[in-house]
Amino acid sequence: MTQFTIYINGGSKKVKVDEDTPLLWVIRDELELTGTKFGCGKGLCGACTIHVNGIETRSCQTPIDFLDEDDEITTIEGLSKDSSHPVQKAWIQHDVPQCGYCQPGQIMTASGFLSRNNNPTDEDIDNAMRMNICRCGTYPRLKKAIKSAAKEIQDG
Amino acid sequence: MDKDHLISRRSFIKTASLIGSGFAIGFNFVQAKRELNSEFSPDMYINVLSDDTVVLSVSKAEMGQGVWTSLPMLIAEEMEVDWGKVKVQQISKDNFIGTGGSMSISGYGWEKMREAGAVAKQVLVESAALKWKVSPMECIAKNSVVYHQKTRRSTSFGSLVDKASKVKIPNSVRLKKPSEFNLLGKDMLRTDSKIKVDGTALFSMDKNLPGMLYAMVERPKYFGAKYKNSNLEQIKNQNGIIDVFLIPSGVAIVGEKYWSVVKARKLLKVNWEKKLNPVFADSKIYRSHLDKLSNGKSSKVRKDGSPSKIFKKAKDIIKAQYYLPFQTHAAMEPCNCVVNVSDRACEIWTGTQNPDNAITRASKVTGIPEKNIKLNLTFLGGGFGRKSFNDWIEDGVRISKHLKKPIKLINSREDDTKYGFARPSSKHNMSAVVNSKSIKAWKHIVVSPDPLTGNAANQYGASIPILKWATSIGIVKNKIRNYLVTDGAAHIPYDFENVSVKASPFETDIPLGFWRAVFHSQNAFANECFIDELAHKSEIDPIQLRLSHLKNNVRSTKVIQKVADESNWGLVLPKEHFQGFAYHNSFGSHVAQVVEVSIVDNRVRVHKVFCSVDCGQTVNPLTIRAQIQGSIIFGMGATLNSEMTVKNGRVNESNFDDYPVVRFDESPQIKVFILKNNEKPGGVGEPGLPPIAPAIANAVFAASGKRIRKLPILSKDLS
Ligand code: FES
Ligand code: FES
């Protein structure tokens, strides 16, 4: 096992794990930030999505030793204080979640891509969101929520 | 004045609140055994607190179907609480309610929840009357306040909690008439959204205990195989591994960290002794057995008129055979649990649809009495029927018992796909006689194993002693099986004069289970594709043919006409777009759908789904819409994307790459129309699913002239 220092949600944390441990399990089990979910372990479902330097990243496919020293991680817990990120607000307003299990991943994907493109076309949204599975089928409301979040981000 | 609604006083109890200063009304969601005994232990509470908040403790599992919102709405409606002051909390009790069969509201919630709300209101009104020394008849409650109009006095619910200790549970309450509802039938936002968007909602996967170890189970490679030997001694020496040992379902690997367990498991080599002559444990063999049985003898389930006479005399019999594959559930959260077994007690955290059974099984495995087993019900990351089986909980309990330490058992996605309880693959032989644009005779033979009396009985039936006993008697067993496999086939809503529905169930070693909408998903496909074929052969509009056989069924006629109007059925569509229709009645609700598809490069693209729903008195239309949309998308996956296959005694599929589900960009525009009436509330979690597969198949016929008689629809079926 190796000791690592990682920057996450605005602070630095020390962990001792095998160097091939995926970030998903470091975040969930070592740091006990359990909002990030395990769905497939193979980069297929997006439930484990986090931001690394603002870019949406599958934490189940990212071993901890892939990180550079100054990489900064954000998880659902660090996205905002009190669910105030436009994406989270839109999710509540549009009654998006059902079982809720996929939603932290959906939110991290949506917030990541909207930060680069706040005026997305339907095709842009499709391309970004097709990486995240929702087995409850919340897609129709996800789509509405993304559009209204984009609007709020534009209006600043 | 309406007659008062008498309640059994013994089914409600008033106590001090356990969660704050105030009082609580306790009751049982279903009439539990305890209610009949003197010892009464409620599984739900309405807590009225002095700060005016009302906390509703819900004991039913929330797996996305919105019970955290809809059940409290039922209480709040009768209690006259300000909805903004209502909070919801999950409670753990030793008597739980299972979640399945679209039963949350339709089955037991409706009346009991409303009664409880009315009881709480009555207690508050009487407390106010006592305080003011007036007659309770002169007081009314509204928006969390009790008023005495004569003296213009008012007081909030919270201010009455002390007085309430002097008031008894009433003998009778008055329930509102539907015309008096303020909350029921209105769109109410979910109460659990905030914790689901900030990552704090607790799924069992998220539970951690001090000193907790991680576990996985390597299960038999083939159905029914037995452990021969393995290199488990060597695995014990792997880094971070605490122990490797046998449990009845396989080899348990336990380590300090999940990742160490994953890595060690890759090195584990187990030799399994295959079961001799496994029964139809291969898709090809199974399929030919379906064919064989469909041509053989079958048992009668329903007979109206004289179908055989009509078939014998008929010049022209229209026939078709339909085939449906196995499907697995693929809930987003793989099965997992946290268990802590000590000498005298056992505590479990998990998301299960069948909590009572989990406790019974944990008690059996540990020898610890049920009263010392605590099950903490967490949110479920999807269930769809899979989480009724509790197999993973038994594994977790055994592992923790062996080590006397807290453990978290996590199924990988591959474990979840390969070791589930699949929807049975079935075959449907249909025949009919059509004469002067009317269906004279209809015959449906269902060939399928059933999930309850076969192998799964040991899994699920274990909790239902009566079922175990009943299925040990041949004739009763056959009745149950025939009834199960023809659910949705025997009770077709159409008024055909001559009907024959038969069943041909059989056994297999493939583990089977309940999948969303159970047999309705298969039988509706056969019914609704076949009636479409009959319409086209007889040159009648498919919707008209159905309506002509539903003349005495007002609800189904209305629901069908609604969707036909909204979808512009039969009118001009965008270029290369085609429509298909299907209707089905299940779990007390009527659902009709029109889908609009196009076919590009031999691939079906679903653009729009129009769906009308009559589920009786509505509680929360937002929840209904979400459930219907979700069922459509879930059913679309089983129509166009996925199928579970079995080869040589094992499941082929493993993860979302080879069991692809519907993704965001494939999701159609879905319009849901809810018909309003005051009929008994029906289910909403499942009835949206059965029509989607036949509606798509019928649209594909309209687009390509090709009849779809087998799911899923593959590109090669269209080329
Ligand atoms: S868990 Fe990482 S993509 Fe599915
Ligand atoms: S909300 Fe259940 S999987 Fe998306």
Q: Where in chain B is CATH 3.30.365.10?
A: 4-198, 204-275+335-411, 283-326+423-718
Q: How far apart are CA B659 and CA B328, in angstroms?
A: 9
Residues of B in contact with A136 (CB under 8 A): 64, 332, 382, 630
Bridge partner list, B350: B337, B377
Alpha-carbon B457 to chain mean position: 18
| Between B571 and B468, residue with greater pLDDT | B571
Helices (H), B58-191: 67-79, 110-132
Angle between helices B391-403 and B355-366 (to 10 degrees): 30
Of B483, B491, B487, the residue nearest B467 (C-alpha): B483
- Other CB atoms within 10 Å distance of the CB of residue B371: 10
pLDDT band at B44 (very low <50, low <70, confident <90, very high): confident
Nearest CA-CA distance, residue A155 and chain B, Å: 22
Pick among B263, B338, B605, B664 to test the A interface (most A CBs inside 10 A) = B664
Q: How far apart are CA B488 and CA B584, in angstroms?
A: 8
Strands (E), B263-351: 270-273, 299-304, 318-324, 336-341, 346-350
Mean pLDDT check: name the lowest of B98-112, B230-244, B699-713: B98-112
Q: Any residues with CB less than 8 A from the CB of B429 and at least 6 apart, and which?
A: B294, B319, B321, B443, B444, B445, B447
pLDDT band at B93 (very low <50, low <70, confident <90, very high): low
For tokens 């020394």, the residue is: B133
- Tell whether the model's pLDDT for residue B29 goes beyond 90: no
B336-352 pLDDT, tens per residue? 999 999 999 999 999 99
Are A83 and B197 inside 8 Å of each other by CB?
yes
**Closest Cβ opposite residue B622 in set A35, A40, A95:** A95
Confidence (pLDDT) at A84? 95
Confidence (pLDDT) at B450? 85
pLDDT band at B678 (very low <50, low <70, confident <90, very high): confident
**Closest Cβ opposite residue A32 in set B208, B214, B330:** B208
Nearest CA-CA distance, residue A102 and chain B, Å: 7
- Tell whether the model's pLDDT for residue A98 goes beyond 80: yes
Using a 10 angstrom Cβ sphere, with 0-12 exposed, 13-18 middle and 19 or more buried, the burial of residue B580 is buried
Helices (H), B460-584: 465-471, 474-485, 520-537, 542-548, 554-566
Instruction: List the Cα angle B11/B13/B14 in 5-degree steps.
Output: 155
- Tell whether the model's pLDDT for residue B616 goes beyond 50: yes
Q: Which residue from B minimizes the CA distance to A101? A: B381
Alpha-carbon B114 to chain mean position: 23
| Between B62 and B172, residue with greater pLDDT | B172
- Tell whether the model's pLDDT for residue A91 goes beyond 80: yes
- Tell whether the model's pLDDT for residue B10 goes beyond 90: no
- For residue A40, the CA-to-ligand 2 centroid distance in Å is 14
Amino acid at B69: T
Ligand number, closest to the Cα atom of B205: 1
pLDDT band at B455 (very low <50, low <70, confident <90, very high): low
Q: What is the mean pLDDT of residues B83-96?
A: 73
- Mark residue B213 as left, alpha or beta (left: phi above 0; alpha: psi -120 to 50; beta: remaining): beta
Domains of chain A: 2-79 (3.10.20.30), 86-155 (1.10.150.120)
Q: Are B324 and B448 in contact (CB under 8 A)?
A: no
Q: What share of chain B is helix, strand, coil (3-state, %, to 5)?
A: 35, 25, 40
CATH fold of B4-198 reads Aldehyde Oxidoreductase; domain 4 (3.30.365)
Pick among B191, B197, B658 to test the A interface (most A CBs inside 10 A) = B197
B283-326+423-718 carries CATH number 3.40.50.1970: no
| CATH code matching the domain that covers B204-275+335-411, chosen among 3.30.365.10, 3.30.499.10, 3.50.50.60, 3.30.70.260 | 3.30.365.10
Q: How far apart are CA A58 and CA A36, in angstroms?
A: 10
Q: How far apart are CA B183 and CA B69, in angstroms?
A: 11
Sheet order of strands, B44-49 included: B12-16, B22-27, B44-49, B54-58, B86-90
Q: Which residue from B minimizes the CA distance to A45? A: B656
Q: How far apart are CA B326 and CA B421, in angstroms?
A: 10
B619-636 pLDDT, tens per residue? 899 999 999 999 999 999
Of B414, B368, B316, the residue nearest B655 (C-alpha): B414
How much is the mean pLDDT over chain B? 91
Confidence (pLDDT) at A111? 98
Of B280, B381, B274, B271, the residue nearest B337 (C-alpha): B381
Q: What is the mean pLDDT of residues B278-293?
A: 93
Q: What is the mean pLDDT of residues B711-719?
A: 93
pTM equals 0.93
- Tell whether the model's pLDDT for residue B713 goes beyond 50: yes
